[in-house]
Amino acid sequence: MMKVLIIGASRGIGLECVRQYTREGAQVLATARSDEGLHKITALGAKALRLDVADPQSVSGLAWMLEGEKLDLALYVAGVYTQSGATTPPTREEFDRTMHTNVLGAMQTIPQVAPLVEEAQGKFIVITSGMGSIGEAESSFGWTYRVSKAALNMAVIAAQHDYPKALLLPICPGWVRTDMGGPHASISVEESVAAMRKTIAAMTAKDKGKYFHHDGRVYSSW
């Protein structure tokens, strides 16, 4: 039975990943930082683990919580958005919150989780954003968020070299109707996750170093 870990699964894309992978028959472990989030995960039949990715002490307990596991798939989904552009300097608080959640959390998670993914010769997929593409940046809208996702892409692609038996790749979920994407986004959370599941299932070692759209297209530039 496929074993899947989903990091940041209290709502939105992460919770939908729990729903769809559980329905597919996978054994799902999923994390949240609130009681409410943990309850939503267990209600879907998955095992819930408490984790705040922006708190290094909390993240340092992850390897212990996962001791002995072999993971066919790990998904890093947790993320926060910051709206302002380059005409307003980011506050230190906003910058730290965004970078700690989107980048530091992933960088602290990878060394703990990637060895468990290697055990199963599995995949470690990180949910990034097209807004992190330097080549496709058409405005500064979401400036700090863009910077964080560009940094996240580098973290993932660089880490691949240390975990050759696993596949580490970034994927953009599309513009999705969640709390973050808002009600006017172009696709539903069900569509986004269904498309990403298909794309992830088709990824092979020859895809190392690529940057994926949810529907399997590859970004032409970073």
Ligand X SMILES: NC(=O)c1ccc[n+]([C@@H]2O[C@H](COP(=O)([O-])OP(=O)(O)OC[C@H]3O[C@@H](n4cnc5c(N)ncnc54)[C@H](OP(=O)(O)O)[C@@H]3O)[C@@H](O)[C@H]2O)c1
Which residue lies nearer to ligand X by CB, 117 or 125? 125
Which residue lies nearer to ligand X by CB, 51 or 116? 51
Which residue lies nearer to ligand X by CB, 72 or 108? 108
Alpha helix segments (H runs only) across 91-175: 92-99, 105-119, 143-159
Q: How far is CA 82 from the centre of its chain?
A: 17
Distances (CA, A) of 48 to 27, 35, 45, 204: 12, 10, 9, 29
Which residue lies nearer to ligand X by CB, 61 or 70? 61
CB of residue 152 to ligand X, shortest distance in Å:
8
Token pair of 81, please? 């958005």
CB of residue 217 to ligand X, shortest distance in Å:
15
CB of residue 121 to ligand X, shortest distance in Å:
25
Angle, helices 12-23 vs 35-43, to 10°: value is: 20
Phi/psi for 119 (5° steps) reads -55, -35
CB of residue 158 to ligand X, shortest distance in Å:
19
Binding site for ligand X (CB under 6 A): 8, 10-14, 32-34, 37, 51-54, 77-80, 101, 127, 129, 172-173, 175-176, 178-181, 185
